[in-house]
DNA sequence: TTGAAAGCGCTAACAT
DNA sequence: ATGTTAGCGCTTTCAA
């Protein structure tokens, strides 16, 4: 007499229904599970018994025998970050339509947490994993998933040496274009600011820990170089978390910078606030542009010129790729690159004379 | 020779490790699972065999026998809504600390989707469910969870006739206080705007589909009544989704309203945009206040006066309550009410003469 | 179309 | 401290 150890209740099982309907367990399972064949009479009888007893399937038991859980794991930096929230929704919708649920884990962009998350998901036998990898250059945290042959798809960032499907935004082109807006307005002293950690001062050619930031920096440097600006690398400011966006912005102003490219919406926000508190007028004194068309960028005064990301689609397409693999697709790995879109608003003007 | 049906690989099991270490399955399980006792020698031998073979536990099999999945389900209106994203993060942190993962489902505030989500979670044998119920007045979608005795906790909204733990913000007091700001500035014609669906025109005493909005409306009406304003119910505007916030705002202006209380940040944002496009100055022409201290409210010009919600804590406390129940606590149901906090900024001024 | 029996990987009694 | 055995609820051969 099996009893739920959690609340002492007895759950109705296939066996119970079978007994009540006077058929074998196999037959009851077939009609309840909707597979195999059964005569109409039997089907009705079983269904009636199931309703009568209050049968509810145990998806775990099913997973034990079929090997499929109809769950996929998603690992994001921080679900509280609107970027990840949107991407997660995109993934959730696609997943749901295909009959999958999402197990959500936050990595806080830490490799250890990410690795641990993967272990947990694997132990729970998810059918596949969708992750925005914390590190592009050190993909060891993803190893277990790959080694154990679970479908894995990367979104927003790629990871070196990990041969799986990926979906990212075209940060290189987007960054070039965004930087160009400043260049076209006449700016020559433009800074790029990011929170990404980097051991030393940035030098052109350095590889950054996140492929998307890496691409953004390369686009920025490329645009400056094309504009004939000497040693563009010196305009790249990383480690903003450690050093503080406020301090960096203040230093930038002192250095006579006239334009700023914020590597993401959070940095843009911090820079915006700091300049306001410093009494620096945007765009009269300094022009500011940022990645991500976040809510606030169209509500602020001035509204910000931004490079809009296909965030929802990043998650949705990631889920699509993953589900395809789960279904058994053995095609060569695919690398989807989604376009970004420039939204010009009021935060750019020519540099002060 | 068991084989993973998903990718044709053989997973290493406790039995394999036991055989390799020349101990019984039970012993191997004991050291691998970290329960029961084992001599140091055996422990080392088993561990070595496990490492050697590459053993990875199957959490599902464990759940089958223990009845505990170490997963909790969370059902939100829409994870893309920053409110739910924050609450989810709060819940995720508490859950993780206690060894639980989150299965995330969006209800889109629809009872059907909510009910379905609950069925799915129950089938997956989550240890408990955390939900922001789509409907306060029709809790039938929650029935299955209650009937089947799974721990259930409601957050942000309560549900009639469902005797489970709840955690909500003090919307009644918050709304009173927020409305009072407008009253104190001298406003007498103040509108409350919400997207919540309501069959007919609002009348004082009507029960709304969301307890939090219901409380906000009651707080608003109460404050107006206390200020001696006649028939406060006529200032309540619901169905903003159907009728359109834009249209409502326009009509309000025509009606000579001088102050608006936005029922949530999204409405506040829509109203803000509409007034800006109409050339209506905030707060010179119309004062605007809203619930939720969302990002944009401090970046906009003017910055908004808002009633800040303990969003993170709503999720965190919900998870705490739930985990307590999962642990077997049989105390009477608890109803936690968290304080809100007024943040005064620049969007309120006396009404125009 | 239906049934019997084995098995998924693990834990929990119960013995020893 | 260790082993034996049964069982969680389902699906899946294989036979009938």
Q: How many residues would you count in chain B?
A: 353
* Confidence class for position B1, pLDDT limits 50, 70, 90: very low
Q: What is the DSSP letter of A38?
A: -
Question: Using CA of residue A295, residue A296, residue A297, residue A301, what is the dihedral sign?
Answer: positive
Tens-place pLDDT, residues A10-59: 789 999 999 999 999 999 999 999 998 899 999 999 999 999 999 999 99
| Chain B residues 47-106 within 7 Å (CB) of strand D | 61, 64-65
The protein residue nearest C12 (Cα–C1') is B65
* Confidence class for position A5, pLDDT limits 50, 70, 90: very low
Residue B256 has pLDDT above 70, yes or no: yes
Residue A6 has pLDDT above 90, yes or no: no
**Are the beta carbons of A273 and B299 closer than 8 angstroms?**
yes
Contact A79 B101 (CB under 8 A): no
Q: What is the DSSP letter of B300?
A: B
Counting residues of chain A whose pLDDT is more than 70, the rounded percentage is: 97
Q: Which pLDDT belongs to residue B84? A: 98
Collapsed DSSP state (helix, strand, coil) of residue A162: coil
Q: Exposed, middle or buried by CB within 10 Å (0-12, 13-18, 19+), for B301?
A: middle
- Rounded to an integer, the average pLDDT of B88-115 is 98
> How far is the C-alpha of B323 from the C-alpha of B70, rounded, in Å?
10
Q: Which pLDDT belongs to residue B9? A: 63
Tens-place pLDDT, residues A121-140: 999 999 999 999 999 999 99
Tens-place pLDDT, residues B258-301: 999 999 999 999 999 999 999 999 999 999 999 999 999 999 99
What domains are defined for chain B? 14-57 (no CATH), 71-169+311-339 (3.40.50.2300), 171-309 (3.40.50.2300)
Collapsed DSSP state (helix, strand, coil) of residue A343: strand
Q: Which pLDDT belongs to residue B5? A: 47
Counting residues of chain B whose pLDDT is more than 70, the rounded percentage is: 97
- Rounded to an integer, the average pLDDT of B32-52 is 92
| Best to test chain A binding among B9, B55, B60, B322 (most A CBs inside 10 Å) | B60
| Contacts with A71 (C-beta within 8 Å, 6 or more apart), sequence order | A100, A101, A102, A103, A124, A125, A126, A127, B103, B124
Q: Which pLDDT belongs to residue A36? A: 82
> How far is the C-alpha of A11 from the C-alpha of A263, rounded, in Å?
53
Contact A104 B103 (CB under 8 A): yes
Q: Which pLDDT belongs to residue A10? A: 75
Closest CA to A217 of A208, A227, A229, A230: A208
* B45: closest CA of chain A, how far (Å): 23
- Rounded to an integer, the average pLDDT of A227-251 is 94
Enter the tokens of residue B240.
Answer: 């903003």
* Confidence class for position B243, pLDDT limits 50, 70, 90: confident
Contact B103 A79 (CB under 8 A): no
Q: Exposed, middle or buried by CB within 10 Å (0-12, 13-18, 19+), for B200?
A: exposed
Contact, B38 CB vs strand D, < 7 Å: yes
Residue A251 has pLDDT above 70, yes or no: yes
* B292: closest CA of chain A, how far (Å): 14
3-state secondary structure B181-245: HHHHCCCCCEEEECCCCCCCCCCCCCCCCCHHHHHHHHHHHHHHHHCCCCCHHHHEECCHHHHCH
Residue B225 has pLDDT above 80, yes or no: yes
Q: What is the DSSP letter of A207?
A: P
- As ranges, strand D nucleotides with an atom below 7 A of a protein CB are 1-13
Residue in A6, A9, A125 closest to B60 by CB: A125
Nearest CA in chain B to A113: B96
Q: Exposed, middle or buried by CB within 10 Å (0-12, 13-18, 19+), for A255?
A: exposed
DSSP string, B10-72: PPP-HHHHHHHHTS-HHHHHHHHHT-S---HHHHHHHHHHHHHHT----HHHHHHHHS--SEE
Tens-place pLDDT, residues B116-135: 999 999 999 999 999 999 99
Tens-place pLDDT, residues A171-221: 999 999 999 999 999 999 999 999 999 987 899 999 999 999 999 999 999
Contact B102 A101 (CB under 8 A): no
């Amino acid at each position: 007499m099996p009893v739920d150890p959690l609340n002492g209740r007895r759950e109705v099982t296939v066996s119970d229904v079978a007994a009540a309907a006077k058929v074998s367990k196999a037959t009851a399972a077939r009609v309840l599970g909707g597979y195999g064949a059964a005569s109409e009479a039997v089907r009705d009888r079983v269904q009636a018994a199931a309703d009568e007893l209050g049968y509810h399937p145990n998806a775990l038991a099913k997973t034990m025998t079929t090997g499929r859980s109809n769950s996929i794991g998603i690992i994001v930096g921080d679900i509280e970050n609107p970027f990840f929230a949107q991407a997660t929704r995109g993934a959730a919708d696609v997943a749901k339509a295909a009959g999958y649920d999402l197990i959500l884990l936050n990595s806080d962009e830490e490799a250890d947490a990410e690795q641990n998350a993967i272990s947990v998901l694997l132990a729970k036998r998810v059918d596949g994993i969708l992750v925005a990898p914390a590190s592009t250059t050190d993909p060891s945290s993803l190893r277990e998933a790959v080694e154990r042959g679970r479908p894995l798809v990367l979104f927003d960032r790629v990871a070196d040496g990990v041969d799986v499907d990926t979906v990212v935004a075209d940060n290189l082109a987007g960054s070039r274009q965004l930087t160009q807006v400043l260049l076209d307005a006449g700016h020559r002293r433009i800074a790029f600011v990011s929170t990404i950690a980097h051991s030393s001062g940035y030098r052109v050619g350095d590889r950054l820990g996140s492929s998307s930031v890496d691409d953004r920096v390369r686009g920025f440097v490329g645009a400056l170089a094309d504009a004939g600006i000497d040693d563009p690398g010196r305009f790249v400011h990383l480690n903003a978390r450690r050093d503080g966006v406020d301090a960096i912005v203040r230093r930038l102003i002192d250095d006579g910078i006239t334009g700023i490219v914020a590597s993401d919406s959070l940095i843009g926000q911090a820079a915006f606030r700091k300049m306001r508190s410093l009494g620096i007028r945007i765009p009269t004194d300094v022009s500011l542009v940022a990645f991500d068309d976040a809510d606030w960028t169209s509500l602020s005064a001035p509204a910000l010129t931004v490079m809009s990301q296909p965030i929802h689609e990043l998650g949705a397409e990631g889920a699509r790729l993953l589900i395809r693999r789960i279904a058994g697709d053995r095609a060569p790995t695919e690398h989807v690159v989604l376009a970004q879109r420039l939204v010009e608003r009021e935060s750019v003007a020519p540099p002060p004379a």
